Amino acid sequence: MVKEQLIEKIQTHKARIGIVGLGYVGLPLVLRFGEERFSVIGFDVDPVKVQKLNAGESYIRHIPADRLQSLLKEKQFEATSDFRRLSEPDCIIICVPTPLTAKKDPDLQYIEKTADAITKTLRKGQLISLESTTYPGTTEEILLERFRTTGLEVGKDYFLVFSPEREDPGNPKFSTRTIPKVVGGITPDCLEAGRALYAKVIDRVVPVSSTRAAELVKLLENIYRCVNIALVNELKVLTDRMNIDIWEVIDAASTKPFGFTSFYPGPGLGGHCIPIDPFYLSWKAKEYDFSTRFILLAGEVNTSIPYYVVERVGKALNDRSKSIRGSKILVLGVAYKKDVDDVRESPALEIMEILQHNGAVLSYSDPYIPRLHKMRAYDFSNMSSLELTEDLLKSQDLVLITTDHTNIDYQRVVDHAPLVVDTRNATRAVTRGREKIVRA
């Protein structure tokens, strides 16, 4: 009876939706549910973020403020830092960060704190969905165990599912609505409720047999990318020694209509998912006396690439009778990928850290990142983006391209910079000054 009442509320758009974590995953969900005329309440621990959202301001570039303002005007959305209000939503979706510790172990404090807050307010008829990427077993071991203390029965009084987020910020081909949604439930009734919720806002819902299977789906997706990127990064190092253009090789191989998928090298791994998620599975595998050798090897290769980039920078300067120490180096692009305003786990930051340690005089320019802030592993909070003028380019000893934003004129960069190290093949269309370009 409880399940039927909840599903009816969802199908008639009377269910109130709660989104915990209003970042790159949570905020698109707010907009998507709002577009389908659901009432949405957003929860976040950051009061500045809450204040901006309630004022109709978007702090994420690819999410336009007018969409937020429309929901606020219709009184369909409000943001709050008061987690005592978690009893209000009928469906709660958890989209909090899952980083790594300094020792590369899973850091689940944000999931744990959210689970504790929900435990205090959990009531009959609620659906809880965890979307944060994590190791198989998290939904059962952290959320379910805490919720048991309430005396409510899962699958009967309340419903618990895992549905991995699949956001790809800045991707014009796919949106929250069009990316298929995988859902796994603790019980069959949990799964039914979860499918009913996501089917109202996502074009295709893909059910799996358990929350553990759903948790592993996201890890597999990102491990697949991690391993293949490590492969081409390792080949990039080899082909540099062999004087072969790895980009030409990949482009030619990609003409094969079957059995090959293109992956491209870069300065390292970036974003919240690919550099982090594989370690979640490697950590969990130890519980089963199993070593995930491919994953660990891929991690080693990808972690080494920023050092390789700095080595190439040093050689390029040395060939011009200069050293890294004292050289003025402009880092062009610090976002983790092109055309986004997101620096999470950006390899550019690791490269900057190594360059700074070696005595480089650093600056950066990125049209999407006006200022850097203090992060868990890095502190470049004293640095702001410089305007990419001809005078700035001429004043540098070297320009290091770490992110290939499409709105940058790379011919202009090469024309005016004395030396360019390109980690993204951003200068492939440049026709003048190619002798100044070094691939890394």
- Say whether 273 is catalytic: yes
The CB density around residue 409, as the number of other CB atoms within 10 Å, is 10
Give me the count of residues in the chain.
440
- CA atoms in the 13 A half-sphere facing the CB of 243: 0
CA dihedral 101, 102, 104, 107 (to 10 degrees): 0
d(CA 321, CA 317): 6
Structure tokens at 166: 């699949």
Q: For the sheet containing 39-43, what is the strand order?
A: 77-80, 39-43, 16-20, 91-94, 127-130, 159-162, 181-185, 205-208
How many CB atoms are closer than 10 A to CB 362?
Answer: 18
Tokens of 97: 């960060």
Under DSSP, the state recorded for 86 is G
Return the amino acid letter for 73.
K
- H helices of 243-292, in order, are 246-253, 277-285
3-state SS, one letter per residue, for 224-272: HHHHHHHHHHHHHHHHHHHCCCHHHHHHHHCCCCCCCCCCCCCCCCCCC
Spot the catalytic one: 91, 95, 190, 273.
273
CA angle at 332 for the pair 403 and 248, rounded to the nearest 5°: 50
Pairing of strands 159-162, 181-185: antiparallel
What are phi and psi for residue 329, nearest 5 degrees? Answer: -120, 125
- Say if CB 86 and CB 18 are below 8 A apart: yes
Intra-chain end-to-end CA distance of the chain, in Å = 62
Which residues belong to the active site?
A: 273
